């Protein structure tokens, strides 16, 4: 087996290939041009996309050429989802999402003019000018409706609330992408999640029928969490790669809070650590679980990849500062905001009163004003890590971090924040 396929296998990524032996030979013989598609259904990539992005990065580092396709056309349609018809994106919103996602992809792959440098494409470039008759004659005639009806996504929809012709035809558009990329760039491999197997193999078949060429497919396993919750979701919603949508602090905490049952699997998938390093972390996690060494390594690796080393340092410093082990004034605005948003943040304009007692009640750190006064009397209330002894204390201008935030703590571990204004 080709070395990169071996690596994907031990990392638990390799789910399916059309012909593993033939693909292995192709990867051995010469640089393979491959692509992965990302539909611009949101304003940013999220952690659910990271598996494919990192797999592209691994393949490029192994000497192969990536094509990152952002679906300016397919994003206007939407791959059929089990629950029902998608809400269609406005064309201008989709175009803006395309630009944002293209910018993000440039962060992860090496771009230039070399044989294995990545390129960015948008499938709207070859669909916008195609009229419907040409599409039906040149693409649609190669698809059997019987086989399209047999796809799991279509079956599910037909058995529930039906499916529109628009979403039913999504597979034709994605398949045409493969045909175009083979013709334009010599692309012979498409990768994606295992839920895309039907779409990807339909593209392989279209290339075979139209151009009499054999191309390959490779899918990775869908990621699940041991506790049954959906990967990439938190109480506050989707974990985005855009720091304006998910702060680097919240991003770091997402990975640091990984369940013990999942952390080694996630290290294999998302980090570049060797098999030996991960085995050592697994052993340490078994002998010293309280140290959370594997979670710390995972959070540092992935946050560094996405946001850079300085963001990791700020996240670690913020964690220490929030609980009194470092100086809050040294923490950047974006990090304080992200940390307090995760902990629980209220706006001063929504608080009835200006005393510490009022703020404690508004943030939910106490159930009543009498409970707040009792906590202060017992010495368990802190404002910006300074113990508060006066229940009538009104935070002064100097108390507002960055002129905007208060950090309230009850006891050793329970924190919340207040943001001035708005």
- Spell out where 358-422 has E strands: 381-383, 386-387, 405-410, 414-419
Q: What is the pLDDT of residue 97?
A: 93
- Homologous superfamily, domain 3-220: HUPs (3.40.50.620)
CA distance 294 to 301: 10
225-325 domain in CATH 3.40.50.2300? no
At residue 199, the pLDDT reads 92
**Alpha carbon distance 157, 83 (integer Å):** 7
pTM of the predicted protein model? 0.88
- For tokens 């044989």, the residue is 115
Beta strands in 42-101 (DSSP E): 65-70
Q: What backbone torsions phi and psi does residue 367 show, to the nearest 5 degrees? A: -90, -20
pLDDT at residue 373, rounded to an integer: 94
State residue 79's pLDDT score. 82
By the 10 Å C-beta count (0-12 exposed, 13-18 middle, 19+ buried), 399 is classed as middle
Tokens 């204004």, residue located: 421
Render each residue's pLDDT in the chain as its tens digit; 422 residues.
899 999 999 999 999 999 999 999 999 998 999 999 999 989 999 999 999 999 999 999 999 999 999 999 998 888 887 777 777 888 899 999 999 999 999 999 999 888 899 999 999 999 999 999 999 999 999 998 888 888 888 888 888 888 888 889 999 999 999 999 999 999 999 999 999 999 999 999 999 999 999 999 999 998 988 888 888 877 778 999 999 999 999 999 999 999 999 999 999 999 999 999 999 999 999 999 999 999 999 999 999 999 999 999 999 988 888 887 878 888 888 888 888 888 889 998 888 889 999 999 999 999 999 999 999 999 999 999 999 999 999 998 899 999 999 999 998 888 999 998 75
- Please give the pLDDT value at position 422: 55
10-45 as b/e, with b when 16 or more CB fall inside 10 Å?
Answer: ebebbbebbebeebbebbeeebbbbbbbbbbbbebb
Three-state DSSP class for residue 368: coil
Count of C-beta atoms within a 10 Å radius of residue 161: 9
Nearest in space to 191 (alpha carbons), one of 171, 151, 220, 222: 220
Instruction: Say how far apart CA 153 and CA 193 lie, in whole Å.
Output: 14
What integer pLDDT is reported at residue 220 of this predicted model?
95
Domain map of the chain by residue range?
3-220, 225-325, 344-422
Question: H helices of 212-274, where?
Answer: 248-256, 263-270
pLDDT given for residue 237 in this prediction: 83
Packed helices 248-256 and 293-307: angle between N→C axes, nearest 10 degrees: 150
The hierarchical CATH code for the domain 344-422 is 3.10.290.10
What is the pLDDT, as a whole number, of residue 159?
Answer: 84
């Amino acid at each position: 087996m080709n070395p990169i396929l071996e690596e994907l296998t031990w990392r638990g990524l390799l789910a399916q290939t059309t012909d593993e032996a033939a693909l292995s030979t192709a990867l051995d013989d010469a640089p393979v041009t491959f692509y992965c598609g990302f539909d611009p259904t949101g304003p940013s990539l999220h952690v659910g996309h990271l598996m494919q992005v990192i797999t592209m990065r691994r393949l490029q580092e192994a000497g192969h050429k990536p094509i990152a396709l952002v679906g300016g056309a397919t994003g206007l349609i939407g791959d059929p989802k089990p629950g029902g018809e998608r809400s269609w994106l406005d064309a201008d919103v989709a175009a803006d999402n395309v630009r944002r996602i293209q910018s993000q992809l440039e962060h992860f792959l090496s771009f230039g003019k070399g044989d294995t440098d990545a390129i960015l494409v948008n499938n709207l470039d070859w669909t916008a000018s195609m009229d419907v008759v040409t599409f039906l004659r040149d693409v649609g005639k190669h698809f059997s409706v019987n086989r399209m009806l047999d796809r799991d996504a279509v079956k599910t929809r037909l058995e529930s609330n039906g499916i529109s012709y628009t979403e039913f035809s999504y597979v034709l558009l994605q398949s045409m992408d493969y045909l175009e990329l083979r013709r334009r760039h010599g692309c012979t491999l498409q990768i994606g999640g295992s839920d895309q197997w039907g779409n990807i193999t339909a593209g392989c078949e279209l290339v075979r029928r139209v151009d009499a060429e054999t191309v390959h497919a490779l899918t990775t396993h869908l990621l699940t969490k041991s506790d049954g919750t959906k990967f990439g979701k938190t109480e506050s919603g989707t974990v985005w790669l855009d720091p304006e949508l998910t702060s680097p602090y919240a991003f770091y905490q997402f990975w640091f809070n990984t369940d013990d049952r999942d952390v080694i699997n996630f290290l294999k998938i998302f980090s570049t650590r060797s098999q030996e390093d991960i085995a050592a972390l697994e052993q340490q996690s078994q002998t010293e679980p309280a140290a959370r060494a594997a979670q710390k390594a995972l959070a540092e690796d992935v946050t560094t990849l996405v946001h850079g080393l300085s963001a990791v340092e700020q996240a670690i410093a913020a964690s220490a500062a929030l609980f009194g082990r470092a100086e809050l004034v040294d923490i950047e605005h974006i990090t304080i905001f992200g940390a307090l948003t995760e902990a629980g943040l209220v706006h001063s304009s929504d608080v009835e009163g200006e005393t510490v007692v009022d703020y404690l009640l508004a943030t939910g750190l106490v159930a009543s004003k009498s409970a707040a006064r009792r906590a202060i009397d017992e010495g368990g209330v802190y404002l910006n890590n300074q113990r508060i002894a006066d229940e009538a204390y009104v935070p002064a201008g100097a108390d507002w971090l960055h002129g905007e935030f208060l950090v309230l703590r009850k006891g050793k571990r329970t924190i919340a924040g207040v943001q001035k204004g708005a």
